[in-house]
Structure 1
Amino acid sequence: MVLGSVLNPINSTIVAVALVPIGAALGAPPSQTAWLVSALYLATALGQPVVGRLIDLFGPRRLFLISTSLVGLAGLAGTLAPNLGVLIGARVLLGFGTCAGYPSAMALLRSEADRTGVDSPAGLLTVLAVANQTVAVIGPSLGGLLIGLGGWRATFAVNIPLSVAAVLLGALRLPKRGGARRGGGGRVTADLDLPGMALFAATLVTLLLFLMNPHLDAWYLPLAGVVAGAAFAVRELRAAVPFIDLRVLGGNRPLLATYARTLVAYVVSYSFLYGFTQWVEEGRGLSPSGAGLVQLPLFLTGLAVSALTGRRAGVRGKLLVGAVGQLVACALLLTLGAASPVWLLLVVTLICGVPQGLNNLALQNSVYHQSDPERTGSSAGLLRTFMYLGSMVASAGTAAAFGSHASTGGLHQLAWLMLGAGALFLLLTVFDRGLRRVGARPVAG
């Protein structure tokens, strides 16, 4: 479960220190290499709820094995890629390949709780959260090490052994029970809302393509997204077994609030991860390995905070402290310049580690307790979708702020975007009274 769930965060973060070397090698500015970030998130934002729904219907084993096999193929394609276009294609394949890990883990925890009649201990959810955040934060350091040893292509090649290990462990250890639910194969096939999935995909793709390059000439993209979204809503409200049950989701306001918090939290998190890291390399002049080492306090603080608070079921206090930590870290970015000492960079990453450790854990626990038990996989997939929507906003903001060079002025522009998102996160937390009940009982909101 842990290995499968970390395949996505490791590929999300390891590329942070590789963007500048890739751009230099292939002659691409930051506005083009930003697609290496967005391609993975576009594929994952689309694939997570789809694969999560398939896991709810067919069980996690077969989806896990198929998806993690794609990770190895994507790693091979990226290692041998001759140009930026092929690299972007490899990142898309990575996005789809990493979709099954996290929903599979959440579905397995839920099914074991149903089978035994004992709720999953908070420690198990903490292990998943700590593993994901640990890998996410050490990703830049690992990326810097791999680039130093074998160049930027090594950041793609690392997926090959990880994929092999995940497939072997999955084949040997994942339970073979828990296949198709609710009757025979014909009933399960009928439960697959293919038109709903297609309209969901069209909505996401058109809106995110516009978000990545917003200009007047592309006016048709948001229009097409709105039309597809309206058609998706009509379809889901009429479908006997909808892909995303909008009636249930609409009546579950605590879960909707959690998704909204997730989106704005990850605007801040990924803006820091990609924007700050690129500035450290280009604006501050550190090497990729040095930029990766600067991120280490983020990892250490986040890990310590998660370990200390993970067994406490409540989430409201964690979210409030995380919200304040985000605002402090964003404000400190406005004080940085080309001559800022390394110790100040380390202080900024150290402070940013506090919300990194608290928010991820609290949001994951919220979804586990607020979602419909029959849709744990798809609810967990939607959590990741909103994470990646936030990352797409962050990627677009980073590309707009930096343009052709990661300058100090661009970093300050990005910091103002992050401050706005952080303030919204705080407001969404302060005024959500339902958070006091999260963790009391593992039932749908």
Structure 2
Amino acid sequence: MAPPPVPRRIAISVALGTLLNPLNSSMIAVGLVALQGDFHVSLAQAAWLVSSFYLAASVAQPLMGRLADRFGPRRVYATGLCVVGATGVLVLLAPSYGWVVAARVLQAIGTSTAYPSGLALIRRLAGGRPPAGTLGLISAANTGSAAFGPVLGGLLVSVAGWRGIFAVNIPMAAAALVLALRWLPADPPAERRLTARELVRDLDLPAVGLFAVTMLVLLDFVLSLGGSPLWVLLVVLPLTIGQLIWHERNEPSPFLDVRALAGNRRLLGVLGQQTAVQAMFYLVFFGLPLWLQRVREFNPATAGLLMLPVSALAVVLTPVAATVIRRVGAGMSVLVGSLGLAIGAALLFTVGDDTGVLAILAVGAVIGLPVAFNNIGLQAGLYAATPTEQAGLAAGLFQTGRYVGAIVSTALLAALFDQGEYSTAGLHQIGLVILLVAAVLAAVAPLTPAPAGRHRPVPATGEPVTPARPDPVESPAGSDRAPA
């Protein structure tokens, strides 16, 4: 018997919450200049609004996933939406730049609850088989919000100033919260209420701190590549990683169960693929606009429009990718994505100083083609490789891979564009790097978990997962069901 489909309204509710993170990560780009003028801060200081969001989200995603696994995904999801709405109010009243940065960090934490909580909830409802339709809806919402974030942000800045970028989260978070409370099934009751001391011990805060320091060291090193590289951080980084591993191996309730991760090679493979795919995506997503503005001298608005095919086509092709997963498997979806990425990278070699606008749009469309296949394919692989009781944490680590990929891409950009010397030759070098990485991704794509048809991952107990039935109240028949 096939596992039950996920009701469409649950998929919509989760998608509405998850889009807030990529939306806020991209909207801020068009507000930095206005914010810089209001508070009289340097560009480097203003850039901390971007860096602080990446750092906080990369740590918060797995932490929120752990909380969802421990205390219930609906509770964590709803709490995060309340935090997002509160940050919008806080910024409206912010008297100084420091308050804005603090609100930005809280915003990153609040928006980081949705994806790991949502995936944990969907896993509980759908059981072992990856619900391709539901994952496709979430993937399309995330990709679309990231693509249109700068467009929405530009409109908000022109109408309401830079504070409008934060204020728009108030009604969006409120709407998502209302739908979550109405549509998402209640969490199972806790066996017992933890004391404050037990809660602190269960969260494993020392490991969270070590993980945050590791991400901060990585971020600082990448940012230093734009000027005087801090090579000493390459010595510090393995030390912090080693300390984190040592601590977690001796922790009875670890934040990152390194023993379980080391034993789950399928999950490690998916996380590695995710980091590499995102690094290559952001290499194009950041690098091509820089080339368009610095070499071709297009204004920012035109450069943004020329980039729309990269993400727009990904949204359009998401249903196709979902169908591929259902019929052939996640490995084929990732293989198509990897080959498409290689073709797009090869086409970058045809772009030059005199290339016409239509040709640039065509290249962007080809580069956007594999995004949907890679994103939803790897989400299905993550779903299949993760034990049910660790679904939230694994989803958080999956999102952390996105941020690590983005950080790695900035380091590659600094090297390939020769410390700010933007050129067509540098763009071609970007194409070469992507082509080589895409070849490796294509080679390992068949190893992606989640074959077509019914798939039951093996949990920690070694027994097959029995798909859980949704609450009858939450499972109306007919059009309210999404294809799984």
CA-based RMSD = 3.3
Do the aligned partners of residues 89 and 189 (structure 1) sit closer, same or farther apart at CA in structure 2, a change above 3 Å counting?
Answer: closer
Q: In the alignment, which residue of structure 2 is the partner of 1:185?
A: 194
Alignment gaps of 5+ in structure 1:
none
Is the CA contact (8 Å cut-off) linking 1:143 and 1:289 kept in structure 2? no
Task: Decide which of 226, 237, 262 is 2:249's aligned counterpart.
Answer: 237
Q: In the alignment, which residue of structure 1 is the partner of 2:283?
A: 271
Measured in 1, the distance between the counterparts of 2:134 and 2:60 equals 25
Deviates more, 1:217-226 or 1:367-376: 217-226
Is the CA contact (8 Å cut-off) linking 1:333 and 1:412 kept in structure 2? no
2:455 is equivalent to residue 441 of structure 1: yes
- AA paired with 1:372? P
Task: Decide which of 174, 199, 203 is 2:210's aligned counterpart.
Answer: 199
Alignment gaps of 5+ in structure 2:
1-13, 460-484
Q: In the alignment, which residue of structure 2 is the partner of 1:248?
A: 260
Deviation at 1:361, TM superposition (A): 0.6
Deviation at 1:40, TM superposition (A): 1.4
Q: In the alignment, which residue of structure 1 is the partner of 2:186?
A: 176
Do the aligned partners of residues 424 and 370 (structure 1) sit closer, same or farther apart at CA in structure 2, a change above 3 Å counting?
Answer: same
- AA paired with 1:383? F
Deviation at 1:97, TM superposition (A): 1.7
Measured in 2, the distance between the counterparts of 1:425 and 1:86 equals 42
Q: Secondary structure at the match of 1:295?
A: helix
Task: Decide which of 368, 379, 388 is 2:403's aligned counterpart.
Answer: 388
Deviations 1:27-46 (A, max 9, x none): 88876655443321111111
Q: In the alignment, which residue of structure 1 is the partner of 2:465?
A: none
Measured in 1, the distance between the counterparts of 2:157 and 2:360 equals 22
Deviation at 1:177, TM superposition (A): 2.5
Measured in 2, the distance between the counterparts of 1:113 and 1:50 equals 23
Deviations 1:13-57 (A, max 9, x none): 233455566678878887665544332111111110011001100
Measured in 2, the distance between the counterparts of 1:422 and 1:16 equals 28
Q: In the alignment, which residue of structure 1 is the partner of 2:27?
A: 14
How many percent of aligned residue pairs carry the same amino acid? 34
Deviation at 1:100, TM superposition (A): 0.3
Deviates more, 1:34-43 or 1:4-13: 34-43
Q: In the alignment, which residue of structure 2 is the partner of 1:102?
A: 115
Deviation at 1:287, TM superposition (A): 4.2
Q: In the alignment, which residue of structure 1 is the partner of 2:339?
A: 324
Task: Decide which of 289, 293, 314 is 1:302's aligned counterpart.
Answer: 314
Q: In the alignment, which residue of structure 1 is the partner of 2:233?
A: 221
Deviations 1:138-160 (A, max 9, x none): 22333344345445543333223
Is the CA contact (8 Å cut-off) linking 1:142 and 1:292 kept in structure 2? no
Deviations 1:252-287 (A, max 9, x none): 112111111111111121222233234434544444
2:143 is equivalent to residue 133 of structure 1: yes
Q: Secondary structure at the match of 1:239?
A: coil
Measured in 1, the distance between the counterparts of 2:357 and 2:92 equals 32
Measured in 2, the distance between the counterparts of 1:88 and 1:416 equals 35
Task: Decide which of 144, 156, 168 is 1:146's aligned counterpart.
Answer: 156
Is the CA contact (8 Å cut-off) linking 2:309 and 2:364 kept in structure 1? yes
- 1:26-425 paired onto structure 2 within 5 Å: 34-76=47-89, 87-113=100-126, 119=129, 121-180=131-190, 184-185=193-194, 190-214=201-225, 218-311=230-323, 312-313=325-326, 314-337=329-352, 339-398=354-413, 408-409=422-423, 412-413=425-426, 416-417=429-430, 419-425=432-438
Do the aligned partners of residues 300 and 228 (structure 1) sit closer, same or farther apart at CA in structure 2, a change above 3 Å counting?
Answer: closer
Q: In the alignment, which residue of structure 1 is the partner of 2:8?
A: none
Measured in 1, the distance between the counterparts of 2:168 and 2:55 equals 22
Tell me the TM-score normalised to structure 2 length: 0.79
Q: Secondary structure at the match of 1:230?
A: helix
Do the aligned partners of residues 414 and 397 (structure 1) sit closer, same or farther apart at CA in structure 2, a change above 3 Å counting?
Answer: farther
Do the aligned partners of residues 252 and 45 (structure 1) sit closer, same or farther apart at CA in structure 2, a change above 3 Å counting?
Answer: same
Deviates more, 1:341-350 or 1:136-145: 136-145
Q: Secondary structure at the match of 1:233?
A: helix
Deviates more, 1:94-103 or 1:338-347: 338-347
Radius of gyration: which is bigger? 2
Do the aligned partners of residues 52 and 174 (structure 1) sit closer, same or farther apart at CA in structure 2, a change above 3 Å counting?
Answer: same
Deviates more, 1:12-21 or 1:254-263: 12-21
Do the aligned partners of residues 340 and 71 (structure 1) sit closer, same or farther apart at CA in structure 2, a change above 3 Å counting?
Answer: farther
Deviation at 1:369, TM superposition (A): 0.5
Measured in 2, the distance between the counterparts of 1:149 and 1:62 equals 35
Do the aligned partners of residues 69 and 228 (structure 1) sit closer, same or farther apart at CA in structure 2, a change above 3 Å counting?
Answer: same
Do the aligned partners of residues 413 and 217 (structure 1) sit closer, same or farther apart at CA in structure 2, a change above 3 Å counting?
Answer: closer
Do the aligned partners of residues 86 and 194 (structure 1) sit closer, same or farther apart at CA in structure 2, a change above 3 Å counting?
Answer: closer
Is the CA contact (8 Å cut-off) linking 1:75 and 1:159 kept in structure 2? yes
Deviates more, 1:359-368 or 1:347-356: 347-356
Do the aligned partners of residues 359 and 29 (structure 1) sit closer, same or farther apart at CA in structure 2, a change above 3 Å counting?
Answer: farther
Measured in 2, the distance between the counterparts of 1:24 and 1:284 equals 27
Measured in 1, the distance between the counterparts of 2:236 and 2:379 equals 32
Deviation at 1:359, TM superposition (A): 0.9
Deviation at 1:134, TM superposition (A): 2.0
Q: In the alignment, which residue of structure 2 is the partner of 1:426?
A: 439
- AA paired with 2:153? G
Q: Secondary structure at the match of 1:161?
A: helix
Is the CA contact (8 Å cut-off) linking 1:267 and 1:418 kept in structure 2? no
Q: Secondary structure at the match of 1:185?
A: coil
Measured in 2, the distance between the counterparts of 1:155 and 1:289 equals 17
Q: In the alignment, which residue of structure 1 is the partner of 2:472?
A: none
Measured in 2, the distance between the counterparts of 1:328 and 1:172 equals 45
Do the aligned partners of residues 295 and 421 (structure 1) sit closer, same or farther apart at CA in structure 2, a change above 3 Å counting?
Answer: closer
Of Structure 1 and Structure 2, which has the larger fraction of its residues in helix?
Answer: 1
Is the CA contact (8 Å cut-off) linking 2:338 and 2:439 kept in structure 1? yes
Q: Secondary structure at the match of 1:310?
A: helix
Measured in 2, the distance between the counterparts of 1:33 and 1:347 equals 34
